[in-house]
């Protein structure tokens, strides 16, 4: 068991080294923002939507609603129209208004940094909370989105499907100083090489470290037929 753990940690160390070599250690959030509130709103909008699409919507949105008080007092229909192209606009608009109302009432319009407070806000789960903590407050945080969950399973770093369980698995094996940038590096990998529908294993710099390399597009989900080593 000890030897197996040691082998895993050596593989993790090499994976992180190659990620740094390929993408660098200085990573920036893909969602454009100038303050904590803007990143919070952008992250809520990014659910089931691309960052690129969100970045097209937010400049005008943030000009129209410059602070939490403005969002809290927004007309639901008008806000829905502003974010319509991000998808799920009705629930997102309701969550944004309710979230900002809480921020105004309980936090003076500011975004809290404590994860236990963040996850009580409407529309905010652990993923969004960790995005805020990691990118705004520079608190070591593991953000698990679809790319991070899928590719971490392919790499054999977790067998879990539930994002929170994946988060805890990764926290056990990743050095704290790599938590934030691991997310950004894996997202980049997932968008360019290890795409959900078309993985380019032969081009991947992690191919020899990946138990799922060449096993097909479903190797990162419960339907795995290739057993992870």
Among candidate residues 20, 51, 145, 224, the one labeled active-site is: 145
Q: Is 224 a catalytic residue?
A: no
Q: Which two tokens stand for residue 179?
A: 């938590």
Is 199 strand, coil or helix? Answer: strand
Check 92, 101, 127, 169 and give the catalytic one. 127
Q: Is 208 a catalytic residue?
A: no
CA 8 from centre of chain: 24
Q: Which residues, including other chains, have CB under 8 Å from residue 151's CB and lie 6 or more apart? A: 186, 189, 190, 194, 220
Pairwise CA distance, residues 117 & 126, whole Å: 11
- Pairwise CA distance, residues 143 & 187, whole Å: 10
Q: Pick from 45, 44, 69, 39: which is nearest to 136 by CA?
A: 39
Residues catalogued as catalytic: 127, 145
């Amino acid at each position: 068991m000890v030897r197996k753990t040691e082998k895993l940690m050596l593989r993790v160390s090499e994976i992180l080294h190659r990620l740094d070599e390929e993408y660098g250690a200085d990573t920036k959030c893909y969602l454009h923002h100038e303050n904590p509130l803007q990143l919070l709103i952008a992250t809520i909008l990014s659910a089931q939507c691309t960052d690129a699409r969100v970045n097209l919507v937010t400049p005008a949105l943030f000009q129209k609603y410059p602070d939490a008080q403005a969002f809290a007092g927004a007309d639901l229909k008008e806000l829905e129209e502003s974010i319509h192209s991000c998808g799920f606009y009705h629930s997102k608009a309701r969550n944004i208004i309710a979230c900002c109302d809480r921020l105004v009432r309980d936090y003076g319009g500011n975004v809290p940094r404590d994860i236990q407070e963040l996850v009580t806000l409407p529309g905010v789960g652990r993923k969004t909370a960790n995005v805020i903590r990691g990118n705004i407050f520079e608190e070591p945080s593991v953000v698990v989105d679809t790319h991070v969950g899928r590719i971490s399973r392919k790499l054999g770093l977790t067998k879990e499907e539930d994002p929170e369980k994946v988060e805890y698995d990764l926290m056990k094996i990743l050095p704290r100083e790599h938590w934030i940038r691991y997310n950004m590096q894996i997202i980049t990998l997932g968008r360019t090489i290890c795409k959900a529908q078309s993985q380019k294993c032969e081009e991947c710099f992690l191919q020899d470290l990946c138990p799922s390399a060449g096993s097909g597009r479903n190797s990162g989900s419960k339907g795995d037929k290739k057993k992870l080593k």
